[in-house]
Amino acid sequence: MRSPPIGVCTMEQPKRLQINLMPCRYPLRPDQWTLLLKHGMAAHGDLTRISQNPDGSDVQVFWGLKRRWGKQAIAQGKRCLVVERAYLGDRFRWHALGFDGLNGRADFCNADVPNDRWIKYWRSSVRPWKSGGEYALIIGQVPGDAALQGTDIFKWVENTAKEASKLYQKVFFRPHPLCKKRVDMPGVAVLGGDLGAALERAAVVITYNSNTAVDAVMAGVPAIAMDAGSMAWDVTSHTLEEPLYKGDRDDWGRRIAYAQWLPEELKSGEAWAHLRRFV
């Protein structure tokens, strides 16, 4: 995960911000990110409204980049806070919050953050880099996912498998669990089952920009991420030919720990306190 230039963020802000929260669907649940953020933003004195139409607010907040209102808000050039599933831990509990983009292309305002969250939540679970392994594992993604930015993931898998077979004796392909299309490639077997078990035996994990690269580097498995949208970009190699990255993960860790927040941190305003300074 690359940090955006510090100059992207400015410390100037109005006393009270106008914020438009755009939920995915109605009715809203009390534990939904929309109402959690509304509560946390109000704790800072900001004025919020809930709609599915971009307006003239200082900040537009929405989930992902696939829905009409999110695309319209980005096109208008307003400051947009994109909410998504997180990268470490329980991705259905934690929320990622970044400005103006998705995953590694978002601005998390985390260039100079401390390492407190990394140490508190994640550092103890990082495993030493492993050596050896039985195979190269290519990771699939959901076709048409916004993170792919139009890339044909099936074509990428096919081309990557051909090249990886020249370098590794065994190459396996792991489809995304939500991908319904069957992918068959000569000489490359499909490997399903538990991801943790698959990582245990892998020598390297090869991704386009899948979050599995994050899982891999946390498990000590060297990974290759071929697109800068990967949240593991800074701790991976980027081509099949270059040496596998087995360097420091703490600097990356302190930054990714400030890219995601617990529901109670959304509701209390702690998450917004970090991001609000940069509107």
* The pLDDT of residue 5 is above 90: no
Degrees, nearest 5: CA angle 43-45-51 = 90
Q: Looking at residue 262, what is its pLDDT?
A: 98
In whole angstroms, what is the distance from residue 233 CA to residue 256 CA? 11
pLDDT, tens digit, 9 for 90 and up, residues 250-263: 999 999 999 999 99
Q: How far apart are the first and last CA of the chain?
A: 21
Is the pLDDT assigned to residue 144 strictly greater than 90? no
- pLDDT band with cut points at 50, 70 and 90 for residue 183: low
The per-residue pLDDT for range 72-121, each reduced to its tens digit, is 999 988 899 999 999 999 999 999 999 999 999 999 999 999 999 999 99
Q: Give residue 7's pLDDT.
A: 36
Residues 6+ apart with CB under 8 A from 30: none
In percent, the amount of the chain with pLDDT more than 90 equals 79
Q: pTM of the entire structure?
A: 0.90
